[in-house]
Structure 1
Amino acid sequence: AKIQGAKVRGDVHMIRMGKNVSIGENAMVHVAKIQGDHPTIIGDGVTVGPNAVVHACTIQSNTLIGAGAQVLDGAKVESNAVVAPGAMVTPNKVVPSGQLWAGSPAAFLRDLTDEEIASIAASAQDMAGLAQAHAIECAKTHQQVKQDEEDAYDLETRNESYFPRGTDEEADKSDVLGLGVPGMMFNSNLTAKSQGETSK
């Protein structure tokens, strides 16, 4: 999933991404050529937060790069690791698997729990599902969008007790207009007043 404003620039080298990768709003994924020959390699199930910079480095599978964090040239973030929001992983630094790094320059903060590692994968899966739903909606024609709006309005305003007769069903002869219960309006009988009866 590539959120609006995110930039993926493989202009002077290659960028390779795995499955279920999410690049957050205004994040940048770039490569290097002049100061070292570094592509950017991103594994499966990686979430790059908004305003983060991933530059000419390797991000292994099931990792989280926090909002505004930077991972710079030649650095490596191993699988099941987290770079905290705003952290800067300096060039050629390695963030070992299962660890949380924070600060600028980034340094080891603590080991991740099993629950935290599992939540990285769950977050990536959620974003992948959202991306699929977004792609389906964006592929709809104007007519389909209009029909969706009408269906939503109908669902919001429909009386649950009303069921229209199907076109293949035989009409009830007592249903004069074919619309409901004859002789009733607002749940009151529509009967003529007897002679001499006055309205109350």
Structure 2
Amino acid sequence: MTYEQRQLLVLGNRVPVLAPDSWVAPNAVVIGDVDLFDKVSIWYGAILRGDLNAIRINSYSNIQDKTVIHAARTSPTGLSAATIIGKYVTIGQGCLLRSATIEDMVVIGDKSILMEGSLVESNSVLAPGTVLPPGRLVPSGQLWAGNPARYVRDLSKDEKEEIGDLAKSVFGTMDRHSAEFLPHSFAYVATEKLRESAAT
């Protein structure tokens, strides 16, 4: 017996809410109390688990492949344990976020880890593989890296502008991917022809 993977899972009264123009890849999973705002994209293999607390992802932000986002029931810092992601944020591949807050215009590099109560302020970048311990703050306009994360340098004006451009470019890519999974897509026709030619 085979089971089709479900993209959206309701847990009790915790219900995912998606804007009409957000996009969730066919093998990504959104569980429980998760809000996806306009133009948000959730990429292949990502998991958003809002079973214990809320996850909010604001407009034009994107969650790349195999990233896991969840939220603790409570936070040791006394602050909100929800995971909040601002506008024009790019979360790289293979990241882990737990009860973290990310303000607008931020890039989180691939395989980074953000722990409970951590905060990344606007116009900031975490280099790939960065580990942000619980309660750590990354001030606005800075590049941080390492395990544990440390200040590297301030970002230039051009680097800050590129943050929004990156999020917009991902949105353009999302449009092409989402079209392949619409009911009227004919991508499967080309696939079937390739299979037939390979068999002969």
Normalising by structure 2, we get a TM-score of 0.69
* 1:145 shift after superposition: 3.5
**Residue 159 of structure 2 corresponds to which residue in structure 1?**
116
1: CA distance between counterparts of 2:148 and 2:61?
25
Q: 1:22 maps to what in 2?
A: 62
Equivalent residue number for residue 50 of structure 2:
10
Query: Is the CA contact 2:52–2:71 (under 8 Å) kept in the aligned structure 1?
Result: yes
- Which of the numbers 104, 116, 125 marks the counterpart of 1:61? 104
Q: What TM-score, normalized by structure 1, do the two folds share?
A: 0.69
Gap runs ≥5 in structure 1: 150-200
Deviation of residue 35 (structure 1)? 5.1
Q: Offset at 1:114?
A: 1.1
Of 172, 187, 190, the match for 1:145: 187
- Tell me, which stretches of 5 or more residues in structure 2 are unaligned? 1-40, 191-200
Counterpart in 2 of 1:126? Answer: 169
Report how many residues are paired.
148
Percent identity for Structure 1 against Structure 2? 35
Shift in Å at residue 116 of structure 1?
Answer: 1.0
Cα displacement (A) at 1:140: 4.0
> RMSD of the TM alignment (CA)?
1.8
* Aligned match of 1:89: 132
More strand per residue: 2
Contact persistence 2:50–2:70 (CA under 8 A): yes
Cα distance change on mapping 1:120 and 1:12 into 2, 3 Å: same
Distance 1:17 1:91 in 2: 20
Partner of 2:142: 99
